[in-house]
């Protein structure tokens, strides 16, 4: 039964990098599999995917990377 337990834990842990990558427009399923198979590598990889700070645009409400200086969706400029 140990192997079943390990698989359940791996699948659960794999959701963490999957959500992180998914928020940045990456494939959720691919990152979930990646996270389940190699969780330490996937979590580090997901963290360095986008070094910028993702914020909600005050103008259009879309998620955008503030390091670009403007919103990708509507062009709103951040201070």
Task: Using CB under 5 A, list all residues that contact Zn ion.
Answer: 57, 59-60, 71, 73-74, 76
Say how far apart CA 20 and CA 5 lie, in whole Å.
24
Closer residue to Zn ion in complex, CB, 30/53: 53
Q: Which token pair is 5?
A: 């337990």
Closer residue to Zn ion in complex, CB, 15/55: 55
Closer residue to Zn ion in complex, CB, 16/66: 66
Q: How many residues does the chain have?
A: 79
Tokens 């959500």 correspond to what residue? 19
């Amino acid at each position: 039964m140990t192997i079943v337990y390990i698989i359940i834990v791996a699948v659960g842990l794999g959701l963490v990098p999957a959500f992180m990558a998914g928020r940045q427009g990456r494939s959720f399923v691919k990152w979930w599999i990646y996270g389940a198979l190699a969780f330490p590598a996937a979590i580090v990889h997901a963290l360095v995917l986008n070094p910028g700070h993702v914020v909600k645009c005050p103008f259009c409400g879309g998620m955008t990377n503030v390091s670009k200086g403007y919103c990708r969706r509507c062009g709103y400029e951040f201070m």
